[in-house]
Structure 1
């Protein structure tokens, strides 16, 4: 009888541990949608708002990014009650997501391993005592205003470039360039061709880990209004196919921008919003975060 009693207790403990493990991080990786994405229901092929009650209750969201281990989410808000652009972080600690708090880390973009943090043309590295001070990336990143910087798995950098004297112009063109890491040093920037660099406000590139596609936002005559998200696929010979508008399920008469694929490759995130004119004539950005199944990319890939 004692053996049966012990066996039943053992079975109960094993079942309890199995249930708990489904809701807890495993090492540095999150194993469930509940922990990885604020418990939001995953989207399908139609974009849906991402955590609106958490990130954009007032519609003032600008952009956001998870850390590589998905335990921190960094984002910004601007306008309305935020007279100055304000930076926030939400952390996953002690088995739950905490409340948002302001942070000194602005527009962080992390390396794949999470030990390097990029902001524009600067970077800092993670040390035993925390993050170092910002250092200059140097050439070819130092003489332009960089809003978007993205690295492939082989550390080739893709970035937008807008000179400071052009930044306040409404007809700013911008351009996307790339630079390969050769013998530990980045080569001079190579501007991509007209397949990519056509239109105005060309910005926020996101390169696939294997460099098979590039996503960015731009204002083009064949768009749906405001800035739209476009994609170009790379051919085996290294050339880029003509850009494709990513479609009317994602792009609208509003402005879509800042598209990026989650590190697990499952979801495409982007911001949708518009500039609203207030009574005093000033403009106020109203935006929210959206996500959609990354299969939308594969559905566009040439067969």
Structure 2
């Protein structure tokens, strides 16, 4: 569900502001998107602040960072005020910007044990859903554990919040089958209702990392299927007048590649979609002879095959389905 890699000094990061010859547009190359693994972009309502996750390749050390846009340049990221001690990942901003949700293995009870989960005989950090509330512009309160049935099982991932407060997420639950599936916990006057699994077709395929349109007109997610180009691709489903989700469509154009794509999230501008991708520039042989400096510079760059955050445009697909704003 997420991933990472190496640390740079600010000077190195700024030196790596190089274009990457791939479809779509990489976000903040060398600053936000680096030779480490970055995913899960969550923007403030004005689009000038982004929260995202950075991790190592083994996905054992996840941290949420924040960067600010000044002119056309993103600032060197800092660890978010509520992160840095636990396995925190997958930030998601509410449409009004007043809450930022994320998942974490931090103890549910102060002083308790961190969450863990066992799969195939291996133990991994577990995940529950948390949020922080905006106190003033750019400042957040203490993390709050979201109470409710959707935190059962310690395998909750990639929250996405609609304007009405409904929370979409992916999880492995008793009715998930072998793979991850997507659920919605609807907000009610008394809290959140029990999660409902979305019917997105074949349950023998992964359905994960939902990114919901604030008005719940469409849902993007990462999944697999016979039309997938890589190990996971980005799909879209549109909600019908009857409230049911339509058959998922494989997104075309710049969205998918032969590499891994996941963690899609609608941006703040119409048609803007952010996603994580491990697409990279492959060297052409014979290449210009490397010395140690040039070799390490290239291997540590954003184009080294680590996951980075990309911006793509799906406005044409949305318009074809009657959505124009």
Compute the TM-score of the two structures, normalised by the length of structure 1. Answer: 0.69
Superposition deviation, residue 272 in structure 1: 0.9
2:212 to 204, 207, 212: 207
Give the superposed CA RMSD: 3.5
Whole-angstrom distance in 1 between the partners of 2:224 and 2:34:
27
Q: Which moved more, 1:82-91 or 1:51-60?
A: 82-91
2:155 is the alignment partner of 1:149: no
1:63 to 33, 36, 40: 40
Runs in 1 of length 4+ with deviation above 4 angstroms?
80-83, 92-97
Task: Summarize the alignment of residues 150-169 of structure 1 with structure 2, pairs less than 5 Å apart.
Answer: 150-162=160-172
Match of 2:67 in 1: 90
Superposition deviation, residue 187 in structure 1: 1.2
Relative to total residues, which structure has the larger helix share, 1 or 2? 1
Change (3 A) 1:197 1:150: farther
Which structure: larger Rg?
A: 1
Deviations 1:20-52 (Å, cap 9, x if unpaired)? xxxxxxxxxxxxxxxxxxxx99xxxx5232322
Q: Unpaired segments of 5 or more residues in structure 1?
A: 1-39, 276-283
Superposition deviation, residue 131 in structure 1: 2.6
Superposition deviation, residue 287 in structure 1: 1.4
What number of residue pairs does the alignment pair up? 247
Match of 1:31 in 2: none
Contact 1:152 1:211 in 2 (8 A): yes
Change (3 A) 1:96 1:62: closer
Deviations 1:72-111 (Å, cap 9, x if unpaired)? 2222333369983343222247997532223343433222
Change (3 A) 1:285 1:186: farther
Task: Summarize the alignment of residues 91-110 of structure 1 with structure 2, pairs less than 5 Å apart.
Answer: 91-92=68-69, 97-103=74-80, 104-105=82-83, 106=88, 107-110=90-93
2:191 is the alignment partner of 1:185: yes
Whole-angstrom distance in 2 between the partners of 1:196 and 1:261:
24
Deviations 1:243-291 (Å, cap 9, x if unpaired)? 111125321211111111112334111111179xxxxxxxx97112211
Higher relative contact order (CA 8 A, sep 6+): 2
